[in-house]
Amino acid sequence: MAGLLQDKVILITGAGRGIGRAIAHLAAKEGAAILVNDFGVNVDGSQPSEGPAEEVAKEIRDAGGDAAANFGSVSDAKDAKAMIEQAVKEFGRIDGLVNNAGIDRARMIFNMSEDEWDAVLAVHLRGNFLCSRYASEQMAKQRAGTILGVTSGNGTFGTTGMTNYGSAKAAIIGMNMAMARELAPFGVRSNSYHIGAQTRMTAQGSDEERAAREAARKAAGVQRPMGSANRPGRPEDGAPLPVYLMSDEAAAISGRVFYMGTDSLGIYNDLYPARVMTKQDGWSVDDVTEFFSAGLGSGVTPFPSGPQASNPS
Amino acid sequence: MTGAGRGFGRAIAKALAGAGASIVAVDLPAHEADNSATVEAIKGAGGTAIAVAADTSSMDGGNQAVRAAVDAYGALDVLVCTAEVVRPGSIMDISVEDWDAALDGTLKAAFTCVREASVVMRTQRSGRILLATSGLGLSRLANNEGLVSTATAAAGIAGIVRAVSKDLARYGVAVNGVDLDAVTDAHDRGSPWTPAGETTGSVEDVTALPVFLALTEAGGQVTGETFAVSRERIGVYARYRQDIVAARPGGWNMDQVKQYFATLDAAERLSHVSVQGYSGAGVPA
């Protein structure tokens, strides 16, 4: 039986370990030729190595699949361009790009260094852009292809201690919505998703930082991304979502945001202004104050509340 | 106030000064003449303002801007970031240089000021941060074609709002976003939620909401939200919500995921999923 991705060519960044590796294996099983990219670094982005990408490519080939390895950095324009060129050279085209590569340097906003911002934004956001930039050129020529941006609950809901990561993950959604429009005339699709699993990255940070992230998640009513109550999430749990989104069965789906937890699967709402009030002759500050108490302010996050309410200010 | 030399920044700076705030007008060294004009206009109307020439796309620039406020006035009560670098281009043709200029000049420029302000406001145990964002990065109904860098930066700023509001809540610091819809040199796309035919206002028409959030008592009682304002309309953006959730204890295999999407299709939910005007089939070669 032909697989869901039969004869497609898929590039997955950061596929040497964790979730990326799981997507690579499932996509290969569904019939795709895989370009396995991994810069081979630690979670903080240090110490590149060719080992992880080569190893996953070999695993796929040993299982009877088709795969090649790439060791470039997604945040380097030359490397990103070369990645797309390698896919075309080795396999003739590129049908899918999964912008999975990521690093993490969690820090409270008032302690975050310029380098911590730059490093995380470079890999997640600039890397997502560069690979998409060069892949979209090729896909537009082919009149076919799918680009997937990887977002996170840290981007959609916000998590304490993760302004760099959360901002990059939120920005990726905006990028993919714009790309969906720009690429639609060429038959190229773009979506964002996030899936949850326990990987070496989710184990990052001090005990306090992990506890703070967990508490924030609980307060926001967000499912724990690393697993359900019953079991921890495995890297392979969410892989069917990106594989499906790159298949021809998803040909009508573009510009949206999906998520997959250990047990759950869903779509995010679109953001639009709610509780809109109209005033044809324009607004004064007093008008806004009045309308805020009359309805605009209902349902917004009450503030100050909780521990900060006891502050002297 | 960053981006104070022109457009939204100048209009909001003047409105805040008119409501009694002392202003630090920050803009790029290249916009020094415009920025001075903003300060002169405020002073001419009886207000208080100083001009700071700083490029906030580096931490040094953000630090310079925040330090100027503390040095001049002894405190920083409100940070408003409207600085924006616009570089049109679609994903297929935008240059890497244009991308970097737009993202550094908009998203990182907001980060550096927020980071530096957060240090001061955390010590003060009070403060308000207001970041300009755009519906171009928030709604898939927005006409963001050819503005991928603008949409990306705007979405990233909304992400800063969500994250930093959580970091600073316990210190009494409120952080919100504002989507300002008016005609400026940089913006002519309109807003996805403004009905066709409704007159788009000028930058002066959209200052009441920022002033409300920055200076009034009621405006300090909200954090982590993104508001939208045009000449005639004010609203608050929906928060992200995970919809149409299906759960399978034990997880999902490939066929079950296919079935989930088929169910959505049958329920005609996928018609809401596709991009307006996009048809997956029959794309001309």
Catalytic positions of A: 165
CB-CB contact of B115 with B150 (8 Å): no
Could you say which of A184, A266, A288 has the minimum Cβ distance to residue B278? A184
pLDDT (tens digit, 9 = 90+) per residue, A231-269? 667 888 899 999 999 999 998 889 999 998 878 888 888
Could you say which of B125, B215, B245 has the minimum Cβ distance to residue A264? B245
What's the ipTM?
Answer: 0.92
What pLDDT does residue B250 have?
Answer: 81
Indicate the length of chain A as a whole number. Answer: 313
| First and final C-alpha spacing in chain B | 49
- The model's pTM is 0.91
CB-CB contact of A48 with A73 (8 Å): yes
Q: Could you tell me how many helices (H) and strands (E) chain B has, helices first? A: 8, 8
Is A77 within 8 Å of B96 when comparing Cβ atoms? yes
Range in A73-77, A94-98, A148-152, B216-220 with the lowest mean pLDDT: B216-220
Residue pLDDT tens, chain B, 285 long: 999 999 999 999 999 999 999 999 999 999 999 999 999 999 999 999 999 999 999 999 999 999 999 999 999 999 999 999 999 999 999 999 999 999 999 999 999 999 999 999 999 999 999 999 999 999 888 888 899 999 999 999 999 999 999 999 999 999 999 999 887 666 556 566 666 677 778 899 999 999 999 999 999 999 999 999 988 889 899 899 887 788 888 889 999 999 988 887 665 555 444 444 333 333 333
Residues on chain A touching B283 (C-beta within 8 angstroms): 143-144, 185-187
What pLDDT does residue A225 have?
Answer: 43
- Enter the tokens of residue B158: 């909304």
Is B19 within 8 Å of A158 when comparing Cβ atoms? no
Could you say which of A182, A222, A293 has the minimum Cβ distance to residue B91? A182
Residues on chain B touching A186 (C-beta within 8 angstroms): 283
Long-range CB pairs of B98-101, under 8 A, 24+ apart, other chains included: B98/B149, B99/A126, B99/A129, B99/A133, B99/B149, B100/A126
* pLDDT reading at A313 higher than 50: no
Residue A40 phi/psi, 5-degree rounding, is 70, 35
What pLDDT does residue A48 have?
Answer: 78
Is A259 within 8 Å of B242 when comparing Cβ atoms? yes
In chain B, which residue's Cα lies nearest the Cα of A107? B167
* Chain A closest-CA separation from residue B37 CA (Å): 25
What pLDDT does residue A51 have?
Answer: 87
Residue A295's pLDDT band, with cuts at 50, 70 and 90, is confident
In chain A, which residue's Cα lies nearest the Cα of B95? A133
Pick the residue of A93, A99, A286, A292 with the most B CBs within 10 A to test the interface with B by mutation.
A292
Residue A216's pLDDT band, with cuts at 50, 70 and 90, is low
